[in-house]
Amino acid sequence: MGTPIQTSALEGTDQPAAELVQVSSGVTQLQLTDGLLLELRQQSQRLESALPQTIIQWAVNRFGGKLTMATAFGPEGCTILHLLSEIDPQVHVFNLDTGYQFPETLQLRERIKQRYGIEVELMRPETTVQEYEQLHGGPLYKTNPDQCCFDRKVSVLRRAVQGKHAWISAIRRDQSPDRRNAPIVGWDDKFNLVKINPLANLTKNDIWNLITKHDIPYNPLHDQGYLSIGCWPCTRSVMIGEDERAGRWGGTAKTECGLHSLSIEPLQPAAL
């Protein structure tokens, strides 16, 4: 669990707003308390109809250097990177580089760096794709995509957010059933972090209007029918009339990689 090292009172109450727990040398983790939960609910309600810029500014003010963001360089993520460049370009941003990303996605990372001066850190699994596939007798995404996502995304994110207290996500409520009830600000018990969703209330059209208005860099695969882009083996272009996430894990009931899913994830990494 770790050792409690700091608490602070929630304004106007005797509830502790937050408790920091030291989990290792120099690394603290935010511990959920009744006071923190109350604060998050109050802020989420206050920010429900706020502009994304206002929500991000609150997150920067509230968490400072303990704030981070994960991005897969989707239209929503690139929109937040654009906003961060105006609010605080020093916020730590990372990408889960599974080894299966499209070349266009990695090229977009460089375009973002050139445009905004934001260098998105690539966080990688402990094994290369070749090593991983050798350990499992071939591509695991073909036989057990949930485990592949867990090993090469979820586990990596847990490592990436060590020492952070909050993360910004680019999800929208209208993207999938699992995202429909996402709060603007909430507690992510999967990663023991505060989760901020500044784009939750926006639509796909809202995002693309912002991209067009501000000439925000985006993945050229979107112009080829790839509405939602993940790893290349599990992503296809979408037909007219299909849901925007229909191209992810086609032919299966899977719609989420596990980062934002409400379903139960594998408890342990796959045996190596």
Q: Are strands 16-24 and 3-9 parallel, antiparallel or unpaired?
A: antiparallel
**Distance, CA of 245 to CA of 180 (rounded, Å):** 14
User: In the chain, where do the E strands start and end?
Assistant: 3-9, 16-24, 27-31, 67-70, 92-96, 121-123, 166-168, 185-188, 193-196
What is the SS3 assignment for 100? coil
Q: Tokens representing 16?
A: 């502790």
Q: Is 149 a catalytic residue?
A: no
201: Cβ–Cβ under 8 A, 6 or more apart, which residues?
Answer: 48, 49, 172, 173, 184
Catalytic option among 148, 149, 234, 257: 257
Q: Which residues are catalytic?
A: 257
